[in-house]
Structure 1
Amino acid sequence: MKEARKLKKMSQEKLGLEAEMEISTARSRISQYENDAVNPPFELVCKFADVLGMPESYFYTRDDAFAEKILSLYRIETEGRSDNKKSKKRAD
């Protein structure tokens, strides 16, 4: 999770707040998740994924090379969806 957060140039506190965590505990909880002291519940991982623009599966993949492939595929798919939306708006 730390790598994903740093890719987005986001602080621990900002990630926590955007994922709707309590302001008083956001930074420390993110730190615990990043250091594998505590595992976040799936629903919270989904919020992190939305905030960071990544698929949930990225956070559950142990192999870093495979995680990068998941992220690449996700980006291709999301770019394709936005291109389709743009084309549809032009047709209207």
Structure 2
Amino acid sequence: MSDADEQWGARLKQARLAADLSQKMLGIEAGIDPFVASARINRYELGKHKPDLLTVRKLAEVLKVPMAFFYSDTDDEIANLLLNYRRVSENVRQQVKGGEG
């Protein structure tokens, strides 16, 4: 298992805990079979398996995070900015983009 796989899993867990979801509920809401949902998310979080792109998209939608959050190199600061940007109001986003609020 690579450091990148571990980091990907840690970011998934961080977003899941922030969303206050169990592994099973996250998996079910992302369309994973309820019978294996908890185990599958657990393996993703441990970095033992990586989901395909479609599953990542579904996980990101459920967790309300941009997909880039999971893949943001090794820079946790950028990953956290991506995570927080998605959670602020549209007014704040416009200000960050440099537009009028």
**Which TM-score tier does this pair reach, normalised by the shorter chain?**
0.7 to 0.9
Please name the residue that 1:5 is paired with.
16
Q: Structure 1 or 2: larger helix share?
A: 1
Please name the residue that 2:90 is paired with.
80
**Residue ranges of structure 1 left out of the alignment (5+ in a row):** 82-92
Please name the residue that 2:28 is paired with.
17
Please name the residue that 1:29 is paired with.
40
Please name the residue that 2:81 is paired with.
69
Residue 2 of structure 1 aligns to which amino acid in structure 2?
A: K
1:58 matches 2:69: yes
How many residues align structurally? 79
Measured in 2, the distance between the counterparts of 1:75 and 1:12 equals: 21
The structure with the larger Rg is 1
Measured in 2, the distance between the counterparts of 1:57 and 1:46 equals: 10
Using the TM superposition, give the Cα deviation of residue 18 of structure 1 relative to its aligned residue in structure 2, in angstroms: 0.2
**Residue ranges of structure 2 left out of the alignment (5+ in a row):** 1-11, 92-101
Flag the structure with more relative contact order, 1 or 2, with Cα contacts below 8 A and sequence separation at least 6. 2
Measured in 1, the distance between the counterparts of 2:66 and 2:34 equals: 25
TM-score by length of 1: 0.79
Map 1:38-53 → 2, pairs under 5 A? 38-53=49-64
Q: Matched residues, percent identical?
A: 35
My pick for the range that moved more, 56-65 or 12-21, is 56-65
Measured in 2, the distance between the counterparts of 1:70 and 1:64 equals: 10
